[in-house]
Structure 1
Amino acid sequence: MSAYPTIDQFNEAVQNPSTAFTDTILRSGKVRTNGFGYPIALGGGFALTYTVEAGGHRYAVRCFHKSTNGLEGRYARISQSLVSIGKPYFVGFEYQPEGVRVNGRGLPIVKMDWASGETLGAYIEARHRDAAAIGKLITEFRDLETFLRSKGVAHGDLQNGNLLVNGALKLIDYDGMYVPGLPVGQGTEIGQKHFQHPRRSAADFGPTMDRFSFIAIDLSLRALKERPDLFQRFSNGENIILTASDYADPAASEAFAQLRGISTLARDTDNLAQICAAAPSAVPTLEDFLAGRSIPAKIISLTRPAGIVSPKAAAYIGAYPVVDATDFGEVLRAVGDRVEMIGRIVEVKVDRTKYGRPYVFLNFGHWKGRVAKVNIWSDGLKKLAQAPDPSWAGKWISVTGLVDPPFENKKHGYTHLSITLTEANQMRVIDESEAKRRLESRGKSANLRPTTGSANQDVLSRLGVQPTGGSRTTSKKSHIAGIPAAIASAQQKLPNGRGTHPQITTPNEAILASLSGNSRRAPSNTGTRLGSSGSRVILPPPTYQPPPRKDSGIPGWVWLIGIGVLILLIGAR
């Protein structure tokens, strides 16, 4: 099969539901849009998810933009199984093999009933200090685990974004689900890393693949109930407390050390460390884990007290591929993928749409050029405890989400790439050292991005971006003045500890290079720029400058005619 359409081609199609969808109800619907009037697509795995309102009801429509073998057969089997076992934890759905037409081609969709509620991530973000709410959540997860295990069913990707909380738990996204009758060991995905065994693979697909996730969630929630402060310290928006980096090396993990320091959790924390070191097939059920049964033989010893710095820093393993917000080519190649974008805010635009709705743009470069940014429309602002303002210029942030298609304005000479923030847990303010640690993980095996094939190549070519060095791309011409000199200067100044100099290719890396040694972080209300000698210059926060507006005065030719008429009148006298 030829390459799937790009996200912008899907967006263009679904803007007209009457011609895009084959489903009678969806054809009469309206797709949810952003402040520019473009469809909002939420991404993850193989599909783009659109919200469609039709006939007084709301639906989540999953459009598949990546190839996945046996999709129709799997969904047929899943549908049959959920009907037979009942669906207290599931939502109704319908697989349509040619449910959407893009460029004249019929493509599969899953039309899902809308499930109201907060995502697990948003729910915990708002209530991690509410011991009663967390305690109730622990009970609900244990009931869910018992139910799924009794039916021989496994979801395959239990995580913050795939569980809704509204009085009870609801599971969404069934792309990787196992139900009886599907072939064991033939998975198509391995789940979000912060909730999965560090050695999980597609071969672990089957009825037991949720065991590790339930154990990690249960232990993390119990820790929050005892010490809610752990959430602020260890949550990155895509986890609860523990991350893939912790599972990969529990002995070096500060999070494991903190959990082990809680007396009621010490035994279970030690046991989870042994589970991480063993094979995925050795993971016990949640019931056995809580009873201390069927734990793999001891391999790892957690002896480091909490608060004692590990002699080796754990490598960063993100939930999604990491991209540098100032590497336009790298971000462009990720269009249509869910990523973690790291960067330092250069400009903050606070304004209202023509309909009077507030919005905020967080720009990682000057607006008039090729720049990545974060879009926060009115719905997203409502989810934030505090809306960003101009004082955020100079802050480093991490934001996760789907990279939207490029927005080009040839008149004013700019092209913007963006991630749209819809939930508070998508974004975190981080410091320079953490930004450096995460950016250094780019291109390593733990963070390799699944390619979207050639689908984005036409966009890359149109914007003048060519691949260099395999997976990396850079724009032909930098849109930020002075950056090449700053990069070159920083390149000469920062040794990597082995007598050589690391390759520095982006503005973020140049800034991070200058932070080595005794450098201190600039105040959050200032900007930082590298001078030609590599020194740091503290600047006042940059101010967003709107595009130039046309002069609304009287055109010159009108003045000329008026003067001519006046001269004729005077001459006639």
Structure 2
Amino acid sequence: MSDQLSAEDYIKAVQRPDLVFDRPELARAEFDVHPMLGIPVPASGSTAVVFRATVGGTTQALRFFTREDASTQQRYTALNAWFTERGLTGDVAGCRWVDDAILVNGRRWPMVQMDWVDGHTLDRHVEDLVEADDRTALETLAASWRDLLRRTQAARFAHGDLQHGNVLVDSAGQLRLVDFDSSWIAPFTGSPPPTEGGHRNYQPENRPWGPWMDTFPGLVIYLSLLALAREPKQWERLNDGENLLFRDKDYRPPHRTQVWSWVERLHDPQIDQLAARLRACCAPGWTATGDLEGLISGPVPWWTRTAAHPPAGAPPEATTAPLPIIPAPAQGTTTPVRPTTPVRPTAAPPRNTGTPAGPHPRSAARPAGQPAWWEQPPGPTQPTPTRPEPVPWAPVRNAGRWLREVGWALFAAVVTVLVWGLGRALVAASLTGLTSDDEAAVSALVALVPALAVLVLMVRRRRRRKRQRQPPGKAR
């Protein structure tokens, strides 16, 4: 609507809580202010702004809408009751709708009053773990995420916008969900869907609003956390501030983007199975029909498997064992239970149904004299011997590496000198009123700053590329 308020309107209003609120506890609220500007500064979203304030001695999050169609009192009242009834109060930030809460521009507007979660958003928390190279904590976080989805989906609650900004990790490591404008619960069945459709980097195309809409983003986040637990340094290359690892373009075939290539290079059986399931969920027309646990535990579609899954000659009907449930650690536990490698059941041999009318579809690709896979005795097959690739003589290999390093160092030195010379000339041209000696000294010193900055950037880029070329599992 044309008279809907903006974030600036609310910022101006809450600077005088005694004038804009009529409830005594809100009128005495103390809002957190910016250390330099001295005014309340909210966290802004697509439909609302959130202020942190102390109300009645406790820290609260006050959420004001910038779109009038974002939510209603009936929705939040029903959600709050559902959280209490289904035992989800520890997994979500408690919320309470306050009608006619604040007076702005001569009209009263509603507000959602929520518990303030003292912690960080999911992406901020993951970044801290990545910088510390804490792979155990990342794997523990993945287990906690899977356990959270198991509880919320069993309680018939769907958040509707699972993404890094709507998942908070509190000071005790507990995951908490916030922002329920897109949420679904059983009493909402038959109601029109909300206007919000979820973050594009976590949702499939044409996602229907309903009980299982968290299955796809739940898998995206679970796979991302487990993959980072295997190789945390990829965060710097794949995270752009609007995702964890995957983006909306990664969900479109043929799945040959940067993140898919890296996931395949991990050669981890559990990661491969989760990636195969995510590729299957990206198929046009796919819709979630169950919870995340059922999706993970189900068979992997054979057409989505990577080459690392089926053994040579395995029929497409062979399925993989379900992924194990990784229990979340108990309070205070630092060492998580690591998942065991899934065991692939052996496909049963086909029954003899008589002589086929034509040649077997795989017989054309079989070398002469070699029995077909269904005629071979059970047991491991011997791999076909291959000629090993020649390994360069060690002194030659080391000399080549040394020459490359020297060449790069010379290139970096030349670039740095060129930047310094160009900067010195530009600074000297802008200086006036100095002697020639002073002018030369000042311009040389000032130009040294961008030259050193260029050198540092080149060194960091060089190190990043060297890390990316290292094979998975190699010690860094």
TM-score, scaled relative to structure 2: 0.60
Number of the residue aligned with 1:268: 274
Number of the residue aligned with 1:98: 100
Counterparts of 1:17 and 1:45 in 2: how far apart (Å)? 24
Distance change >3 Å, CA 250–CA 285, structure 1 → 2: farther
Is the contact made by 1:158 and 1:195 (CA closer than 8 Å) also made in structure 2? yes
Deviation at 1:289, TM superposition (A): 3.2
Counterparts of 1:60 and 1:46 in 2: how far apart (Å)? 15
Say which SS state the counterpart of residue 252 (structure 1) adopts: coil
Aligned counterpart for 2:294 among listed residues 288, 291, 312? 288
Superposed CA deviations along residues 244-264 of structure 1, whole A, max 9, x for unmatched, are: 121134523110111122222
Number of the residue aligned with 2:84: 83
Number of the residue aligned with 2:366: none
Provide structure 2 residue ranges, at least 5 long, that are not aligned to the other structure. Answer: 308-414, 424-445, 451-476
Deviation at 1:52, TM superposition (A): 1.0
Counterparts of 1:120 and 1:154 in 2: how far apart (Å)? 18
1:5 aligns with 2:9: no
Question: Structure 1 or 2: larger strand share?
Answer: 1
Deviation at 1:188, TM superposition (A): 2.3
Deviation at 1:2, TM superposition (A): 4.3
Is the contact made by 1:268 and 1:289 (CA closer than 8 Å) also made in structure 2? no
Counterparts of 2:54 and 2:180 in 1: how far apart (Å)? 21
Number of the residue aligned with 2:201: 194
Number of the residue aligned with 2:187: 181
Q: RMSD in angstroms over aligned alpha carbons?
A: 2.9
Distance change >3 Å, CA 150–CA 282, structure 1 → 2: closer
Mapping of residues 15-34 of structure 1, within 5 Å: 15-34=15-34
Counterparts of 2:263 and 2:240 in 1: how far apart (Å)? 17
Say which SS state the counterpart of residue 241 (structure 2) adopts: coil
1:214 aligns with 2:218: yes
Say which SS state the counterpart of residue 236 (structure 1) adopts: coil
Superposed CA deviations along residues 446-504 of structure 1, whole A, max 9, x for unmatched, are: xxxxxxxxxxxxxxxxxxxxxxxxxxxxxxxxxxxxxxxxxxxxxxxxxxxxxxxxxxx
Q: Count residues with an aligned counterpart.
A: 311
Counterparts of 1:77 and 1:66 in 2: how far apart (Å)? 20
Number of the residue aligned with 1:48: 49
Counterparts of 2:254 and 2:68 in 1: how far apart (Å)? 35
1:131 aligns with 2:138: no
Distance change >3 Å, CA 141–CA 250, structure 1 → 2: farther
Counterparts of 1:22 and 1:297 in 2: how far apart (Å)? 63
Number of the residue aligned with 2:438: none
Question: Quick check: which has more Rg, 1 or 2?
Answer: 2
Distance change >3 Å, CA 190–CA 3, structure 1 → 2: same
Deviation at 1:153, TM superposition (A): 0.4
Amino acid at match of 1:194: N
Is the contact made by 1:58 and 1:113 (CA closer than 8 Å) also made in structure 2? yes
Number of the residue aligned with 1:172: 178
Counterparts of 2:223 and 2:124 in 1: how far apart (Å)? 19
Deviation at 1:283, TM superposition (A): 6.2
* Identical positions, percent: 28
Aligned counterpart for 1:238 among listed residues 224, 239, 242? 242
Is the contact made by 2:47 and 2:70 (CA closer than 8 Å) also made in structure 1? no
Mapping of residues 167-566 of structure 1, within 5 Å: 167-184=173-190, 186-197=193-204, 199-201=205-207, 204-263=208-267, 264=269, 265-282=271-288, 285-293=291-299, 298=303
Is the contact made by 2:272 and 2:305 (CA closer than 8 Å) also made in structure 1? no
Number of the residue aligned with 2:63: 62
Superposed CA deviations along residues 268-307 of structure 1, whole A, max 9, x for unmatched, are: 22331221123352465322333343x6684x7878xxxx
Counterparts of 2:419 and 2:273 in 1: how far apart (Å)? 43
Counterparts of 1:222 and 1:289 in 2: how far apart (Å)? 16
Runs of 4+ residues deviating >4 angstroms:
295-298, 300-303, 520-524, 539-542
Is the contact made by 1:81 and 1:180 (CA closer than 8 Å) also made in structure 2? no
Deviation at 1:67, TM superposition (A): 2.0
Superposed CA deviations along residues 310-356 of structure 1, whole A, max 9, x for unmatched, are: xxxxxxxxxxxxxxxxxxxxxxxxxxxxxxxxxxxxxxxxxxxxxxx
Distance change >3 Å, CA 70–CA 269, structure 1 → 2: closer
Distance change >3 Å, CA 297–CA 107, structure 1 → 2: farther
Counterparts of 2:86 and 2:257 in 1: how far apart (Å)? 40
Say which SS state the counterpart of residue 110 (structure 1) adopts: strand
1:112 aligns with 2:118: no
Amino acid at match of 2:282: C
Superposed CA deviations along residues 79-118 of structure 1, whole A, max 9, x for unmatched, are: 1211211212022221012111111211110011111122
Counterparts of 2:134 and 2:168 in 1: how far apart (Å)? 18
Provide structure 1 residue ranges, at least 5 long, that are not aligned to the other structure. Answer: 304-519, 528-538, 543-573
Counterparts of 1:68 and 1:297 in 2: how far apart (Å)? 44
Counterparts of 2:289 and 2:262 in 1: how far apart (Å)? 23
Is the contact made by 2:120 and 2:168 (CA closer than 8 Å) also made in structure 1? yes
Distance change >3 Å, CA 259–CA 155, structure 1 → 2: same
Counterparts of 2:261 and 2:295 in 1: how far apart (Å)? 19
Distance change >3 Å, CA 150–CA 102, structure 1 → 2: same
Is the contact made by 1:99 and 1:106 (CA closer than 8 Å) also made in structure 2? yes
Is the contact made by 1:118 and 1:165 (CA closer than 8 Å) also made in structure 2? yes
Deviation at 1:54, TM superposition (A): 3.0
Distance change >3 Å, CA 152–CA 284, structure 1 → 2: closer
Is the contact made by 1:47 and 1:64 (CA closer than 8 Å) also made in structure 2? yes
Counterparts of 1:6 and 1:119 in 2: how far apart (Å)? 24
Number of the residue aligned with 1:14: 14
Is the contact made by 1:156 and 1:210 (CA closer than 8 Å) also made in structure 2? yes
Number of the residue aligned with 1:365: none
Counterparts of 2:289 and 2:259 in 1: how far apart (Å)? 20
Say which SS state the counterpart of residue 110 (structure 2) adopts: strand
Counterparts of 1:69 and 1:140 in 2: how far apart (Å)? 30
